[in-house]
Amino acid sequence: MRFAISLLCLFPMMAVAEELPDDCSFDQVHLVGQLQALAKRIPGGRVDVADHFVEWHLPEGEVVHAGQGGCYDLGTRVSIRFAKGRIPPREAALKKLLKAVSTYWSKPEAQELSAALAQSDDKIELSGTGDFELQVPASKAFFQGFTILMSGDEISVSWISG
């Protein structure tokens, strides 16, 4: 549920295909087809057509979501929801997130995320609970930058593609 809400925030124009404007830049049927192919490529994936993501339940209790959608901007988001009481420290969570991007989305984009993180001078804003948000500025790979958010029992990364 939280992933769907986040996707709706990231993709304000995203909805079921019939509700999208006729002049959408992205072929919604094609986007869903790509998610279905992703779910087939990595066993155990379940496609949520309405919210444009694939979900995998891992044996250790974690749930990975990877999705892409939009109408005028193509947004991508990968997240991990940790099992209750099994939330790792921030650095370990970041490593798991980068591994999830590599495994469930794209190795090249995971490498670019890692390189951008290593070069980022942006401050991580922490709350008293250990939650954080990191916004990395634009680069060649991420023309509008990307955002990493860790709160509660979830860590995610999102960016605008092409």
Per-residue pLDDT of the chain (162 residues; tens, 9 = 90+): 444 334 433 433 333 344 545 667 778 888 899 999 999 999 999 999 988 999 999 998 999 999 998 887 888 999 999 998 788 888 899 999 999 999 999 999 899 889 888 877 655 655 556 677 777 777 776 778 788 888 889 999 999 876
State residue 129's pLDDT score.
62
Three-class DSSP category at 120: coil
| Rg, C-alpha atoms of the chain | 15
Which residue segment(s) compose the domain that 92 sits in? 2-161
State residue 124's pLDDT score.
60
Q: Convert the pLDDT of each residue in 95-123 to its tens digit.
A: 999 999 999 999 998 998 898 888 776 55
Q: What share of the chain is helix, strand, coil (3-state, %, to 5)?
A: 35, 25, 40
Task: Please state, in angstroms and as integers, the Cα–Cα distance from residue 136 to each residue in 8, 30, 48, 55, 56, following that order.
Answer: 21, 29, 28, 26, 27
State residue 126's pLDDT score.
54
Three-class DSSP category at 136: strand
Specify the number of domains making up the chain.
Answer: 1
This prediction has a pTM of 0.79
Three-class DSSP category at 85: coil
**Over 21-49, what HEC string results?**
CCCCCCCHHHHHHHHHHHHHHCCCCEEEC
